[in-house]
């Protein structure tokens, strides 16, 4: 499917939207209270970046040097001038739990991560105050957690089964989610929401380019297409970026989001109606993602058809783009195994039970 957004070109960090309004709350200098709150959020055991200075050392600074550091941060923020060393990342690779490849871990400057946290905290507060994020988005928000996604799905499924209805659920994967964020679209979206120049210029800086060092003594200068993996700001920026993907969904369709993890489900008394509604909803989400330069990965999509009508897993299927996805009986969603198993209780009709566990036996 053709992308509806223009082809990506390298972002110029000096380019800004034509109309960026001033915002006294977002542009004001950081207070010492904000500084201490951001620093207290950091673990002493966090690995340092290329400079070798960890949060344990920063926390031990005498008061006058913490105040001096805050003054430096505020000067950077107001002047939009940041150290080139903040672009450097030491990348190590660890094996994924599934054994299907390697996961890159980026070690960056703790000073940079502290500054990112200051910007993130203020931007998060502004986003929540102005209701930028939909209630379906539970990722990296105060008062929300993974359990909200799982509990909502489980309770609605139990309620549907108790009334003889069915639940068709698709677990979707956004292909290369963070890596494929179009920064120009992101900056324009933030600007339209009222984000001002100080945070926007730092976001431009942090997303434009990084110098990657590896254990093989290789050094690569990389211009980013998306938001950096492992960045303090990236989850919030991604959540803001994809707020529009649930637009035009029917009212009877439910969606749970945790950053780039999505679960979409429909409830109906009829299999054909439930599955047709789910397929239509997935198409709408994919169309909205395409406008942002993102798309669903069909080969990673999972489908579970929850019912108590003796319809076994594998009997139903949905179409996702050009792929046919058969129903399964379990899926690992947000680190939790969601099981849907046929129960053969002695003297009782066949029924299905739903379980959640940390491990699948």
131 exposure class (CB count in 10 Å sphere: 0-12, 13-18, 19+): exposed
Residue range 333-339: mean pLDDT, rounded:
67
Strands of 351-357's sheet in order across: 330-333, 336-343, 351-357
Average pLDDT over the chain reads 80
Bridge-based pairing of strands 351-357 and 317-320 is unpaired
Q: CB-side exposure of 341: number of CA atoms within 13 Å?
A: 11
Residue range 164-188: mean pLDDT, rounded:
87
Q: Is residue 185 pLDDT above 70, yes or no?
A: yes
**Six-digit token string for 84:** 């080139």
Give the tens place of pLDDT for each residue, 36-53.
Answer: 999 999 999 888 988 899
CB 204 within 8 A of CB 187: yes
Q: By C-alpha distance, which of 273, 272, 301, 271 is closest to 286?
A: 301
DSSP state of 193: T
Give the tens place of pLDDT for each residue, 271-303.
Answer: 888 888 999 999 999 999 999 999 898 888 888
CB 104 within 8 A of CB 222: no
Block residue for tokens 């996702």: 320
pTM (predicted TM-score)? 0.82
DSSP state of 129: H
């Amino acid at each position: 499917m053709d992308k509806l957004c223009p082809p990506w070109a390298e972002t110029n960090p000096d380019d800004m939207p034509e109309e960026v309004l001033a915002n006294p709350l977002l542009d004001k200098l950081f207070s010492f209270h904000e500084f201490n709150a951001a620093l207290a959020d950091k673990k002493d055991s966090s690995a340092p970046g290329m400079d070798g200075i960890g949060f344990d050392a920063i926390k031990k600074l005498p008061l006058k040097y913490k105040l001096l550091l805050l003054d430096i941060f505020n000067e950077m923020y107001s002047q939009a001038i940041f150290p080139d060393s903040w672009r450097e990342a030491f990348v190590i690779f660890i094996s994924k739990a599934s054994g299907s490849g390697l996961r890159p871990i980026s070690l960056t400057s703790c000073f940079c991560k502290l500054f990112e946290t200051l910007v993130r905290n203020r931007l998060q507060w502004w986003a929540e105050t102005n209701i930028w994020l939909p209630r379906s988005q539970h990722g990296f928000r105060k008062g929300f957690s993974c359990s909200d996604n799982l509990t909502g799905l489980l309770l609605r499924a139990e309620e549907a089964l108790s009334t003889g209805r069915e639940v068709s659920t698709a677990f979707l994967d956004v292909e290369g989610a963070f890596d494929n964020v179009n920064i120009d679209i992101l900056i324009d979206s933030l600007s339209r929401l009222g984000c001002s120049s100080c945070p926007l210029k730092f976001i431009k800086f942090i997303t434009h380019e990084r110098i990657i060092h590896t254990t093989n003594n290789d050094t690569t200068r990389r211009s980013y297409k998306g938001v950096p993996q492992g960045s303090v700001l990236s989850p919030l920026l991604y959540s803001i970026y994809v707020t529009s993907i649930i637009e035009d969904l029917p009212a009877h369709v439910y969606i749970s989001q945790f950053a780039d993890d999505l679960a979409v489900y429909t409830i109906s008394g009829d299999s054909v109606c439930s599955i047709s509604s789910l397929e239509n909803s997935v198409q709408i989400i994919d169309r909205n993602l395409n406008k942002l330069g993102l798309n669903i990965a069909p080969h990673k999509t999972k489908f579970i058809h929850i019912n108590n009508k003796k319809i076994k897993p594998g009997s139903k299927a949905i179409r996702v783009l050009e792929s046919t996805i058969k129903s399964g009986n379990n899926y690992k969603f947000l680190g939790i195994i969601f099981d849907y198993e046929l129960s053969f209780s002695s003297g009782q009709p066949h029924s299905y039970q739903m379980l959640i566990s940390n491990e699948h036996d």
